[in-house]
Structure 1
Amino acid sequence: MESIGKFDFEQARIKHVLFKSKIRAMLYGANIDIEPVISTTKCSLGQWIYTVALPRLGHLPEVKELEKVHQDMHTIARRLWQQYQAGEQEQALGGLDLIDDTAQKLLQLLSDIERKVTS
């Protein structure tokens, strides 16, 4: 198995935090590139999942779950964006709790995978 180090996982966490900040900025009216927020393959964490994690560690069930949770995150983000676009800003902002809950699952999976492959 090709090695993935702690640095790779730290980078994945940072990418995820940046993603969450983009969602918040988007829902508060900032002019940002929306494509990385709504696309599972255009965001930097998605690129890491599809170019590093799945090719090297795709045999681990946690990596498959990470991909699913990541897709869920983007599904929620798309729904919040649609609500925002429809003038339902309060409802969209209310969905940030779901983003946070899903983010916790994603971060836990990253930690679980990191423990498995770096110990």
Structure 2
Amino acid sequence: MMSKEMNLESIKLSHDNWFAKIEYYLDGHLVPRQDIVVSHSECELGKRFYDEGKEIYGNIRAVKFLEIKHEKLHKIAQYIWDAYNNGDFELAKILYSDMLAVSKRIISIFNEAQEFINDKSEKSNVINF
């Protein structure tokens, strides 16, 4: 998930774009369901995590928390979609606020995990004489 090849900024940009689509949808615009309701394993972060990262980094505490919060984020997106489609616009907006809080925590955890991995990588590259 957090290998040197992984571009953190690319993932954050993808995450921001996803949120922009949800905001656009909540403003009353048509957005395809698949652009909002995406499985936590099918978005950019999820694909990278389940393709390469879980096996390598799944034992890191921050990564375990990241997985839990990330799955929660996508469940909230489903609830937003359902609430909005059922005409409960107020609930959809409340859920969106909750989603923003979860998102901030995910970014924080992601950064914490990235720092841990970078520190561990730097220490393993030290040559002992």
TM class by shorter chain equals: 0.7 to 0.9
In the alignment, structure 1 residue 89 sits paired with structure 2 residue 95:
no
Q: Kindly report which structure 2 residues correspond to 1:18-57, keeping only aligned pairs within 5 A, or say none.
A: 18-38=17-37, 39-57=39-57
Distance 1:103-1:3 versus aligned 2 partners, 3 A rule: closer
Q: TM (normalized to structure 2)?
A: 0.78
Alignment of 1:1-119 (within 5 A): 4-5=3-4, 8-38=7-37, 39-119=39-119
Please tell me whether Structure 1 or Structure 2 has the larger radius of gyration of its CA atoms.
2
Q: In structure 2, do the counterparts of structure 1 residues 68 and 87 end up closer, same or farther at CA, with 3 Å as the change threshold?
A: same
| Residue 86 (structure 1) shift | 0.2
Q: RMSD of the TM alignment (CA)?
A: 2.1
Residue identity over aligned pairs, in percent, reads: 21
Higher relative contact order (CA closer than 8 Å, sequence separation 6+): 1
Q: Would you say how many aligned residue pairs link Structure 1 and Structure 2?
A: 118
TM-score between the two structures when normalised by the length of structure 1: 0.84
* Rounded Cα–Cα distance in structure 1 between residues aligned with 2:57 and 2:89: 39
- 1:42 counterpart letter in structure 2: E
- Give the conservation status (yes or no) of the 8 Å contact 2:2–2:114: no
Offset of residue 35 of structure 1: 2.2
Mind listing any 5+ residue stretches in structure 1 that lack a counterpart? none
Structure 2 gaps, min length 5: 120-129
